[in-house]
Structure 1
Amino acid sequence: MRKLKLLLGIALIGIIAAVYFNYPKLNLISGYASKNMASSVNIADRDPTDVTVDHDEMPLINLSDCEVSEADKSSTASVFGLMPRTSVYKEGLGAVLTNKEFPKHNFDIVPNRFIEKDTLPFPYGNQGIIDTILENVDYDKLEVAFVNAFNDPEQKTKSLLVVHKNQIIGERYIRGFSKDTKILGWSMTKSILATLYGILEFEGKIKMNDTPFSEEIRMKNPKGNITINHLLRMQSGLAWDENYFKISDVTKMLFLDSDMALAQRNKNVIAAPTEVWNYSSGTTNLLSGILREQFATHQEYLDFPYKALIDKIGMNSMLLETDLSGNYILSSYGWASTRDWAKFGILYLNKGDWNGKRIFSESWSDYVAKPTINSNGTYGAHFWLNAEGKYEDIPTDLYSVNGFQGQRIFIIPSKDLVVVRTGTKEQTDEQFNTLLKEIIQSIR
């Protein structure tokens, strides 16, 4: 009996210790589950049960329970009843993870949309697709790539779309998804942010060597040496911990902060610009805050991405979510259909020309695809690269738009190719290399 009591006591101490050390993480777990559920249901029109299945595939997140309220478009999640978090959706702005300070969106205005009359087929419109058979494409070989991508249950592919010569040559979706389903791009949204800066540069309103911090800061603080270019290349020297498996800078920003533009702005300088390369979602949201400073009003800031880029190239399904302070969360929260994500890749394949309209300068696509110092040839300016042959069987001119869980837009200029892959599981470099190799082998 004494041994049993001792064992029970040890077990109880273990449970108490586990709860004590992991309790703060519950805030992040329930926060992720709540936010993802509210966005998926209200933006992508997904069934809550299907979203829960996605959560079940993620360690820790599968510990959460989520309740959805259709009446107020909200979702509340908790872990064993502990640390409940609520997210609230607002049309045009997406869902926000609320806190004690802000129980809902903190402002009334929403973005205006600039949707033009649609009379053309993809990509310059949404009236179907061109179904001409391209003579240089072996469609049987292309089918092999699609079968391998979808038939392997471990890959968790949701959609795959291949564009050659501005024409869709292959497209497939899993059950429950279609060409109209909005898919969260996660960090693919970072490349949307970069493009907005490319547009401002093309319009002569900003330069890459501009220093975004105030004159007072520049006189007293080494942050004054940081340029827009340094921030776009993730080489500012500002401290940041991008770790999604613990309480870190990025998880605190996404699941606790009301104003995400401040998360990295308030960090210390740990190196001079260009000395280190450090991937940072905080940098992207800092840039979103700096972008907001370029406009006289909040309304102009909210309108700009849609007016200057998104609706201008017919990405009409896209929605960018904001934080509680009205900043676009361009590090992570951009939603669009697979076809609309493909349009973004096509814009870059055509070097900023959209059916005769110039969106950004022809040199901008070269700028974002130029390797950044200390990134080992893997990163440009908010775009990922193959400059050092990470994908060994794929041309080194490939550059890509990358997001969590294997969301990708691959742009391969030398093959006149854009490939969009979305899913619920990250893929290895070898898996992506195989997929792209099989697609390329189908083109003569």
Structure 2
Amino acid sequence: MKKFFKLVGFASFIGILYYGFITYPKLDLISGFSAKSIASGHFIDHRSMEMIEKGDNDIKMIDLATNTIDENGQFATASVYGLKERKAIYREGLGATLIDADFDISAPYEVPKRTKLVSDKLFPYGNQEAKDTVFSSVDYAKLNAAVSNAFDSTDKKDKRTRSVIVIHKDRIIAEKYDTGFDKDSKILGWSMTKSITATIFGILEKQGKYDIYKPAPIVEWQKDKRKNITTNDLLHMNSGLEWEENYSTICDATKMLFQAENMGRVQLEKPSVFEPNTHWNYSSGTTNLLSYILRNQFKTHQEYLDFWYSALIDKIGMKSMVVETDMAGNFVGSSYSWATTRDWSKFGLLYLHKGNWNGEQLFDAGWAEYVAGPTKGSKGDYGAHFWLNAGGKFPDVPRDMFYCSGFQGQMVAIIPSMDLVIVRMGLKENPEFDFNGFLRGVIGSLKR
């Protein structure tokens, strides 16, 4: 019997050692994710730590973190079993930034200059609530049933939808929020931010200030074959650069988001492993490289910060949006933008109207067609920093749908053939959340 217990004890000891061996390298990422999530959710959207831990941080491994919030210092910390403590600081206008031990929190910094929309026009072009609009072409009973079905019943965590809004012919025809959320709640878009970043290039093209078909303006690439990579290649995620994006392990993407000081340089320093336009490979590093390229199009950092807001975000009245920055002060164009559900829908409407916002053309109409054109090698699933349904990923949804997509099932769907924008924000993604069924239900409520 003693021998048996010794064997059991030895096996347990080996198990603990093995768990520690495979887990310890991840602790830095776990505490980094948790601290950043707590700081952003609390200081941007005013959520309690308990709400964030039960919502955004309710992820395997991330839930191991112990978190604290310092209201006076405006920062959050997280550690795992007292190990690998990380800190994320909040700065008004820049959101929350995960910092390292070398970061100088006392150093001066610049923030975007914002222009708030003040208008007596109706939503989406102004601040006024739209009057009830009833379309004879909409079966509201079916529509409301489809929207309600996207949410969990009491005490369930199967669908985890936080908000849904449906816009038809520029009018809200359905809108619903989960407990604890409303039309003023700011929600993280994760990789929907990629579509924001791409749009800045479309605006610069319209202004005659940038040519996406020329080689990317990166000095470090001029002495090797990377000099042939164009911005068009980067926008289509087929630059041929080495990159691993696998959030279940330590990879290029996780190291960039939770350890890098200047996220834009991580992809920049990767070697070329394929010829451009021959191998599609989704890469958050590519998008942050694009943000880095954008920074270099402006003489000053202040101009770079301002342009994203003055030329796009504030221009279309996304007054709630905050795009967060890395330690170098550059926008994390791959992942970190927050906005209300209504403001996310405005971005969809901008593309539904092919860049025209209330009479002003922000980017050429052809740009909307460009981002919705299939990328070589993506099987019709991806365009230029937008996802597509051209390949029939969602079989019951029109093939002309293109959409912004983010971690945990954030979606801004644009369906031109139906004059429709649908936004869903939540904590479960496809296939755990049935996007095809949800979209089918909403579409089925409209008579064609």
Same topology, TM > 0.5: yes
Letter in 2 for 1:108: Y
Partner of 2:355: 352
Letter in 2 for 1:100: A
Pair 1:25–1:10, CA change in 2 (3 A): same
CA offset digits 1:207-244 (Å, max 9, x no partner): 111212446733x2011000010000000000000011
SS at 1:402 equivalent: strand
Partner of 2:254: 251
Is residue 44–residue 181 contact of structure 1 (8 Å, CA) maintained in 2? yes
**Take 2:140 and 2:213, find their aligned partners in 1: how far apart are those partners?**
46
**Take 2:107 and 2:316, find their aligned partners in 1: how far apart are those partners?**
30
Q: Given the two structures, how large is their TM-score scaled by the length of structure 2?
A: 0.96
Question: Is residue 31 of structure 1 aligned with residue 32 of structure 2?
Answer: yes
Partner of 1:74: 75
Q: CA deviation at 1:20?
A: 2.3
CA offset digits 1:120-164 (Å, max 9, x no partner): 111001211231211211111101101211145411000000000
- 1:312 corresponds, among 305, 311, 315, to 315
1:203-352 correspondence runs (5 A): 203-214=207-218, 217-218=221-222, 220-352=223-355
Is residue 117–residue 319 contact of structure 2 (8 Å, CA) maintained in 1? no
Partner of 2:134: 133
Which stretch shows the higher mean deviation, 265-274 or 426-435?
A: 426-435
Question: Is residue 186 of structure 1 aligned with residue 190 of structure 2?
Answer: yes
Is residue 106–residue 325 contact of structure 1 (8 Å, CA) maintained in 2? no
Partner of 1:15: 16
Pair 1:215–1:256, CA change in 2 (3 A): closer
Is residue 384–residue 399 contact of structure 1 (8 Å, CA) maintained in 2? yes
**Take 1:238 and 1:106, find their aligned partners in 2: how far apart are those partners?**
34
Partner of 2:421: 418
**Take 1:436 and 1:157, find their aligned partners in 2: how far apart are those partners?**
14
Structure 1: gaps of 5 or more residues: none
Pair 1:435–1:55, CA change in 2 (3 A): closer
Pair 1:257–1:107, CA change in 2 (3 A): farther
Q: CA deviation at 1:103?
A: 4.9
**Take 1:150 and 1:214, find their aligned partners in 2: how far apart are those partners?**
46
**Take 1:26 and 1:401, find their aligned partners in 2: how far apart are those partners?**
30
Letter in 1 for 2:399: T
Q: CA deviation at 1:4?
A: 2.6
- 1:165 corresponds, among 146, 165, 169, to 169
Pair 1:293–1:155, CA change in 2 (3 A): same
Pair 1:386–1:189, CA change in 2 (3 A): same
CA offset digits 1:27-53 (Å, max 9, x no partner): 101110100000000001111110010
Q: CA deviation at 1:21?
A: 2.5
Letter in 1 for 2:55: D
Is residue 97–residue 326 contact of structure 2 (8 Å, CA) maintained in 1? yes
Is residue 391–residue 430 contact of structure 1 (8 Å, CA) maintained in 2? no
Structure 2: gaps of 5 or more residues: none
Is residue 371–residue 387 contact of structure 1 (8 Å, CA) maintained in 2? yes
**Take 2:129 and 2:305, find their aligned partners in 1: how far apart are those partners?**
30
Root mean square deviation, CA, Å: 1.4
**Take 1:65 and 1:111, find their aligned partners in 2: how far apart are those partners?**
32
CA offset digits 1:246-300 (Å, max 9, x no partner): 1100000000001000110000100000110000000000000000000000000
SS at 2:365 equivalent: coil
Is residue 118–residue 127 contact of structure 2 (8 Å, CA) maintained in 1? no
1:399-410 correspondence runs (5 A): 399-410=402-413
**Take 1:214 and 1:243, find their aligned partners in 2: how far apart are those partners?**
26
Pair 1:8–1:141, CA change in 2 (3 A): same
Q: CA deviation at 1:341?
A: 0.1
Q: Given the two structures, how large is their TM-score scaled by the length of structure 1?
A: 0.97
Q: CA deviation at 1:110?
A: 0.6
**Take 2:68 and 2:238, find their aligned partners in 1: how far apart are those partners?**
41
Pair 1:442–1:216, CA change in 2 (3 A): closer
Q: CA deviation at 1:2?
A: 4.0
**Take 1:130 and 1:87, find their aligned partners in 2: how far apart are those partners?**
42
Q: CA deviation at 1:105?
A: 7.8
Which stretch shows the higher mean deviation, 270-279 or 76-85?
A: 76-85
**Take 1:288 and 1:82, find their aligned partners in 2: how far apart are those partners?**
33
**Take 2:36 and 2:220, find their aligned partners in 1: how far apart are those partners?**
38
Q: CA deviation at 1:428?
A: 1.8
Is residue 407–residue 429 contact of structure 2 (8 Å, CA) maintained in 1? yes
Which stretch shows the higher mean deviation, 63-72 or 104-113?
A: 104-113
Partner of 2:66: 65
**Take 1:107 and 1:425, find their aligned partners in 2: how far apart are those partners?**
39
Pair 1:328–1:105, CA change in 2 (3 A): farther
**Take 1:284 and 1:192, find their aligned partners in 2: how far apart are those partners?**
10
Partner of 1:441: 444
- State how many pairs are aligned: 443
Q: CA deviation at 1:175?
A: 1.2
Pair 1:310–1:394, CA change in 2 (3 A): same
Which stretch shows the higher mean deviation, 287-296 or 65-74?
A: 65-74
Question: Is residue 373 of structure 1 aligned with residue 386 of structure 2?
Answer: no
- 1:198 corresponds, among 193, 199, 202, to 202
**Take 1:107 and 1:363, find their aligned partners in 2: how far apart are those partners?**
41
